[in-house]
Amino acid sequence: MNYEVLIPVIRRLAIEAGDKIMEIYNGDDFEVKVKSDDSPVTAADEAADAIISAGLRAEFPDVMLVTEEQSESHIANGDTFLIVDPLDGTKEFIHRRGDFTVNIAYVEKGVPQRGVVYAPARDRMFFTQSDGQSVEEIGDFDITKVGETKAIHVAQADNDALMIVASKSHRDQATDDYINKYAVKDSKSAGSSLKFCLVATGEADIYPRVGRTMEWDTAAGHAVLLGAGGQVVRFDDHTPLTYGKEDFANPFFIAFAPTVELKEA
């Protein structure tokens, strides 16, 4: 994959999808349907998926494409692919809470190498540059050119006063039990893949996920965090979280700054 070509394309498609999502978000009430796995889906999910899928297939016809909205037709047959969650945080979208994102990533040999996370209702965009460094873009997002960016990096963690971020919609007792193993200065909740980005920018030190996620939920945020010096490991044995699993389902995991002294599960 030529990253010099890839990055402008996925950034542009994320903005185009985000514009369509916000058009629906700011409009009248929208229909909410239920998928076979009981998760919600809206017209915004489907419209964003159509924009991104068409764009990626036009630009990279020979690269395997995995998207959440077409997942029932996907068969994992490799460890190198483009992977998309066109609207991560559908529940946040439905309740108009703003913490939803557009996620596009490129996975190579099981590792998310490059990605973009765009939160259109929060006016925040994070992506990996072609050289692998993650940045946050600031200001108006123009599809024709990149605006001002600042390099992001994980924090130097103070293990006596950690900043923790956890899921807004899926926080449970198991998550709290694990968080309680640490000396916590502050704990915040966030929706969607923004949690990875808060660790990547140093706004949080650790994000434990004790709950079900799919690879399209995490790949773009994972790529951004790797490009900011962070890590994502399995919850059970602290080995790296990898991609290309047969059912695209993730084990529980921990995203963190490497200076965090991880506790056992």
The annotation status of 90 as a binding-site residue, yes or no, is yes
- Annotated binding-site residue? 80: no
In order of 33, 41, 166, 223, the CA distances from 209 in angstroms are 26, 22, 7, 17
Three-class secondary structure of residue 33 per DSSP: strand
Q: Is 63 helix (H, G, I), strand (E, B) or coil?
A: coil
Q: Is 65 annotated as a binding residue?
A: no
88 is in an annotated binding site: yes
- The verdict on whether residue 29 carries a ligand-binding annotation is no
246-249: Cβ within 8 A, 24+ apart: 246/76, 247/76, 248/66, 248/71, 248/74, 248/76, 248/214, 248/215, 248/216, 249/212, 249/213, 249/214, 249/215
Q: Is 211 annotated as a binding residue?
A: no
Using H for helix, E for strand and C for coil, what is the string for 192-254?
A: CCHHHHHHHCCCCCEEEECCCEEHHHHHHHHHHHHCCCCEEEECCCCCECCCCCCCCEECCEE
68 annotated binding-site participant = yes
Q: List residues forming the annotated binding site.
A: 68, 85, 87-90, 217
Q: List residues forming the annotated binding site for substrate.
A: 68, 87-90, 217
Q: List residues forming the annotated binding site for Mg(2+).
A: 68, 85, 87-88, 217
